[in-house]
Chains A and B, each alone.
Chain A
């Protein structure tokens, strides 16, 4: 990986707009500006169309012979399938309100990263084939035909959009660039163009049940190890139920939480919480992925990967599904799952918390509840014994992930939980949180190493907001409810606000959780010593019973 510029240099060296008209400018594929291409075997295994070896830096991308026909037809088909696409192609007035709402634009100052122009890349093609004026007047009215360099341009900018929807919040017509990016990516996959970082997890998830390709026995082993770690910290070894039939609840979370630091601590948090509640639940090695990289590929791939959730809920005969902390997973569950793969199997019922009796009527049809809804309800009803003092060494802020924020509206549940388990909570500036939150800069399958500088650029607005609260209020921690965030925010924090650590919400919940029969906590879930725990700890047990 090339050496990164300093944050100051990064901001200062954003290039001015090019002199030429944007129609005459083509992107350069320098190393670091693109994600590595998907492997041919991967695409073949997934039965993706026109699989081939290609290199984004090469002149020739090896497109199939009739690539233009394929793309034109695929585009026309998408127009017939999605009213949103027709509408978003027609009604943009180019008012520019979206321009500086995009983190990629703010970080790169590349005009084509203004959401309006990102959409114009496709809109110009739409004009030529689908509008009267475009057919008659061509380039005068901003129409252009397909050529291979246009395909490259679409690829370049469809993978510099994280589908975060921030622009759509500010658009007077609700034009959603995420929708356009998703469809452009679909089109590119029709001619065999995809990225390794997305398609490899898709392949893994298709054949092993999770993105990381963890096979069932290894999955069990890892979770058992995490349970051992829980015991080291709390003195209690939580239950680890797998593939258990007739459990009340099936718990599904992104596999990143089982595998990667710091997600594993969030996973330990889940295990401890469920154990303390004596919850009748099960994990599944088959539906061992909450995330859905298929949603970064095509609607059908998203549907395919998502199908396992209901299938497993049916096989295991559970009543409802509880979902872990993840961003795009929840966009899919909230806005797509029931449509894709519903209705929920007959054995499932309206989710009711077995601890508080609260019925989650807002999930009456999908029968899937977000863990922060579940936990907030527990706390509200006084069902958890919490000692937020265990988190006193951190001053935390909260990062709203794009998808729960703008594709679901899950804003106050995590804050409710966070405030209950942490004494020191500070919000970032108001233009960077809640529905106006900024992306971590690497969502939607862009969290790959080879574009690290681009990620840091796209993460600039978030990074600056974090730095602001770090300097002003001594913030040293950022909580989030997204597995991709847990992977992408640590390098972002390290770059923009060194010294800030990142964790999932349920890591902090478990840190504060007073376990029945547990030992006195002297360390947190990361097995780091709790400040002050040494001096006043005497009897060594807490929680009684």
Chain B
């Protein structure tokens, strides 16, 4: 955990020192270009890598009643029989984290009064679902809000978003709720990895690093808006230059901005090589994106090996005499009559 924290701090420090020492264009121009290219190419390559392997079998995890007799009600979303059902299932999975919503916490006790003996208890446990959902949506909204910097004039929908986001009307500049929720959600996701023994056991650098990185991005972002206030107009001109492939001088922009940009770039660079590819991967998941119709429609396996099995003819050859004795019908009568 600390290794990944140090790593994020180190990246931040290098960006800070570098931009202060006059290499701002390295962190503000070259690095983002590189990161964007690696992200796009890397993600495409990863998806091609997945797509190259076939889905030999139709293996949806059925989460409800199959399509069956007319008087039995099918769970059309959790056990879809059609593409429309699959679409609904995937929509709920991707947009509302439906599977995670099922989450429970299980506990077994040696003595449970209701059982007068051992028993299991299941609690509803929606915290992970709740904070995961908050994190992803706030991250999306924060990302969209940044279009203020990517387009001139600022699109109308961005202004609406900002109005909505600042609805609480706290402070000046107005406090954006998404930023605060994003920070809280990240701290929750990090906290459970630190304080929950099971999570601590399964967590790797690969899990802490993106969390610290995102925390770094959110914290520098918040600082840039509320505390170490950046000259917004200059930043916009600078970013517009980058997005239109005619970079302008970065002079006068605080080093913290370049720390922010460097951390975002690191995220993009890291993305295609990490678990963060779940963003694209969820759409490929064969237990979710297929209809449970394999008895109705034949699914083809491109590498289906040839059939090799103990044939009936071999079986009868092996057991012809005893089969005749048992009075079983035969394809070929035994040489000597049985008995």
Chain A residues contacting B102 (CB-CB under 8 Å) are 169-170, 436
Chain A residues contacting B71 (CB-CB under 8 Å) are 380
- The residue of chain B having its C-beta at the shortest distance from the C-beta of A464 within the complex is B120
B118 contacts partner chain A, Cβ-Cβ < 8 Å? yes
Give min CB distance, A94 to chain B, whole Å. 5
C-alpha spacing A432/B114, complex, angstroms: 16
Give min CB distance, A245 to chain B, whole Å. 7
Is B198 a contact of A95 with CB atoms below 8 Å? no
Give min CB distance, A236 to chain B, whole Å. 22
Within 8 A of B (CB), among A148-187: 165, 168-176, 179
A312 contacts partner chain B, Cβ-Cβ < 8 Å? yes
C-alpha spacing A368/B206, complex, angstroms: 46
Is A87 a contact of B281 with CB atoms below 8 Å? yes
Within 8 A of A (CB), among B288-339: 288, 292-301, 303-305, 307-312, 315-316, 318-319, 322-323, 325-329, 331
Within 8 A of A (CB), among B87-133: 93, 97, 99-100, 102-106, 108-112, 114-120, 122, 128, 132
Interface centre among B67, B104, B196, B326 (most CB of A within 10 A): B326
Partner of B206, one of A142, A174, A217, A242: A142
Is B325 a contact of A100 with CB atoms below 8 Å? no
A97 contacts partner chain B, Cβ-Cβ < 8 Å? yes
Chain B residues contacting A111 (CB-CB under 8 Å) are 198, 201-202
Interface residues on B, range: 35 or more
Which of A338-346, A479-487, A531-539 makes up part of the contact surface? Answer: A338-346
Give min CB distance, B73 to chain A, whole Å. 7
Question: A288-329 toward B: CB 8 Å interface, digit per residue (1/0)?
Answer: 000000000001100111011001100100000000000000
If the complex has contacts A86-B50, A408-B292, are A435 and B78 also in contact, measured as CB distance less than 8 A? yes
Which of B55-63, B169-177, B229-237 makes up part of the contact surface? Answer: B55-63
Is A429 a contact of B99 with CB atoms below 8 Å? no
Is B295 a contact of A368 with CB atoms below 8 Å? yes
Is A431 a contact of B104 with CB atoms below 8 Å? yes
C-alpha spacing A525/B315, complex, angstroms: 33
Within 8 A of B (CB), among A339-373: 339-343, 358, 361-366, 368, 373
C-alpha spacing A91/B287, complex, angstroms: 14
Which of B16-24, B28-36, B270-278 makes up part of the contact surface? Answer: B270-278
A394 contacts partner chain B, Cβ-Cβ < 8 Å? no
Chain A residues contacting B329 (CB-CB under 8 Å) are 242-245
- The residue of chain B having its C-beta at the shortest distance from the C-beta of A460 within the complex is B108
- The residue of chain A having its C-beta at the shortest distance from the C-beta of B99 within the complex is A172
Is B103 a contact of A99 with CB atoms below 8 Å? no
Question: B60-89 toward A: CB 8 Å interface, digit per residue (1/0)?
Answer: 011111111101110100110100000000
Is A215 a contact of B322 with CB atoms below 8 Å? yes
Partner of A220, one of B69, B79, B106, B326: B326
Is B207 a contact of A84 with CB atoms below 8 Å? no
A334 contacts partner chain B, Cβ-Cβ < 8 Å? yes
C-alpha spacing A81/B304, complex, angstroms: 10
Is B287 a contact of A174 with CB atoms below 8 Å? yes
Which of A65-73, A113-121, A439-447, A511-519 makes up part of the contact surface? Answer: A113-121
Chain A residues contacting B301 (CB-CB under 8 Å) are 339-340
Is B295 a contact of A366 with CB atoms below 8 Å? yes
- The residue of chain A having its C-beta at the shortest distance from the C-beta of B54 within the complex is A83
C-alpha spacing A83/B54, complex, angstroms: 6
Within 8 A of B (CB), among A417-461: 429, 431-432, 434-436, 460-461
Is A333 a contact of B295 with CB atoms below 8 Å? yes
Is A464 a contact of B78 with CB atoms below 8 Å? no
Interface centre among A165, A209, A286, A305 (most CB of B within 10 A): A286
Partner of B201, one of A17, A91, A304: A17
Chain A residues contacting B309 (CB-CB under 8 Å) are 206, 304-305, 307-308, 311
Chain A residues contacting B278 (CB-CB under 8 Å) are 90-93, 173
Partner of B310, one of A308, A406, A434: A308
B153 contacts partner chain A, Cβ-Cβ < 8 Å? no
C-alpha spacing A179/B286, complex, angstroms: 11
Is A339 a contact of B64 with CB atoms below 8 Å? no
Which of A54-62, A188-196, A467-475 makes up part of the contact surface? Answer: A467-475
Partner of B122, one of A85, A93, A431: A431
Chain A residues contacting B331 (CB-CB under 8 Å) are 315
Chain A residues contacting B206 (CB-CB under 8 Å) are 94, 133, 141-142
A257 contacts partner chain B, Cβ-Cβ < 8 Å? no
C-alpha spacing A305/B309, complex, angstroms: 7
Chain A residues contacting B147 (CB-CB under 8 Å) are none
Is B312 a contact of A12 with CB atoms below 8 Å? no
Chain B residues contacting A244 (CB-CB under 8 Å) are 329
A393 contacts partner chain B, Cβ-Cβ < 8 Å? no
- The residue of chain B having its C-beta at the shortest distance from the C-beta of A242 within the complex is B328
Within 8 A of B (CB), among A8-43: 8-12, 17, 22
Is B69 a contact of A96 with CB atoms below 8 Å? no
Is A176 a contact of B59 with CB atoms below 8 Å? yes
- Contacts A/B (CB < 8 Å), 30 sampled: A11-B109, A79-B53, A81-B54, A90-B278, A91-B278, A91-B282, A92-B275, A93-B278, A95-B128, A95-B132, A96-B196, A114-B201, A116-B202, A142-B205, A172-B97, A174-B287, A175-B285, A176-B61, A179-B287, A206-B310, A216-B322, A217-B319, A217-B322, A242-B328, A307-B307, A361-B296, A408-B62, A412-B72, A413-B69, A463-B118
Question: What are the nearest 3 A-B pairs in CB distance?
Answer: A409-B66, A409-B62, A91-B281
A22-B201, A142-B206, A407-B59 provided; 5 other pairs, C-beta below 8 A? A90-B275, A95-B132, A101-B106, A242-B329, A377-B69
